[in-house]
């Protein structure tokens, strides 16, 4: 005679409940850590401060970091007046790349423009690579943002995000 997981009074047996709970916990553990999409882990935005300067900014989510040596910027159609000066990062003994400098939290870099762009618009391109503390590294990312340069003496506009924030029910 085959035993049912439900007893005569319509209740689950203790063995069946324990087995179901163990299978569910195993499935959740096998799924691994919940990682953010790279656009959310390393949110990139740009603000035109004046007609000759833009500021590129990464807002780095908690539990994530960018590699200093993997961060690069370019601007079109204008060109950079000089190579951007990246602030020093914090030294990390990284399992993938050895001792490296990394950024956490926020990274803001001013990009001086050589000459005003025709039409008052520039496209700022950021190349970067980062990882999660969970031990997962993302492939190199390229993000582009188009901003309007303000007229001389005008106030800067609000920062423009590369990937507008999306609402999520789970993150």
Per-residue model confidence (pLDDT) at position 120: 83
DSSP SS3 for 94: strand
- 153's tokens: 């003496």
Query: What's the CA gap between 82 and 86, in Å, rounded?
Result: 12
pTM of the model: 0.73
Q: pLDDT > 70: what percent of the chain?
A: 74
Query: What's the CA gap between 43 and 143, in Å, rounded?
Result: 9
20 vs 110, more confident: 110
105 alpha carbon, distance to own chain's centre: 10
Q: What's phi and psi for 118, nearest 5 deg?
A: -65, 135
Residue 64 CA: distances (Å) to CA of 50, 69, 91, 118, 130: 31, 16, 14, 37, 7
Max avg pLDDT among 20-34, 55-69, 146-160: 55-69
Per-residue model confidence (pLDDT) at position 90: 95
When pLDDT is averaged across residues 138-167 and rounded to a whole number, the result is: 79
Range(s) for CATH 2.60.40.1250 in the chain? Answer: 38-161
Whose tokens are 């007893």? That residue is 7
- 75's tokens: 């601007």
Domain 38-161 coded CATH 2.60.40.1250: yes
When pLDDT is averaged across residues 47-55 and rounded to a whole number, the result is: 90
Looking at the predicted structure, is the pLDDT value of residue 166 above 70? no
- 128's tokens: 């970067």
């Amino acid at each position: 005679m085959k035993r049912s997981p439900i007893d005569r009074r319509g209740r689950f047996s203790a063995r069946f409940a324990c087995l179901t709970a163990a299978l569910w916990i195993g499935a959740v553990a096998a799924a691994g850590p919940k990682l953010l999409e790279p656009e959310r882990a390393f949110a990139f935005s740009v603000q035109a401060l004046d007609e000759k300067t833009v500021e590129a900014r990464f807002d780095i989510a908690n539990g994530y970091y960018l590699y200093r040596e993997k961060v690069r910027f370019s601007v079109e159609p204008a060109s950079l007046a000089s190579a951007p000066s990246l602030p020093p990062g914090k030294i990390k003994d990284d399992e993938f790349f050895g001792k490296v400098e990394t950024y956490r939290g926020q990274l803001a870099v001013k990009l001086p423009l050589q000459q005003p762009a025709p039409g008052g618009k520039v496209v700022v391109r950021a190349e970067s690579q980062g990882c999660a503390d969970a031990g997962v590294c993302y492939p190199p990312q390229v993000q582009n943002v188009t901003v309007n340069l303000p007229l001389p003496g005008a106030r800067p506009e609000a920062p423009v995000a590369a990937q507008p924030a999306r609402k999520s029910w789970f993150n």
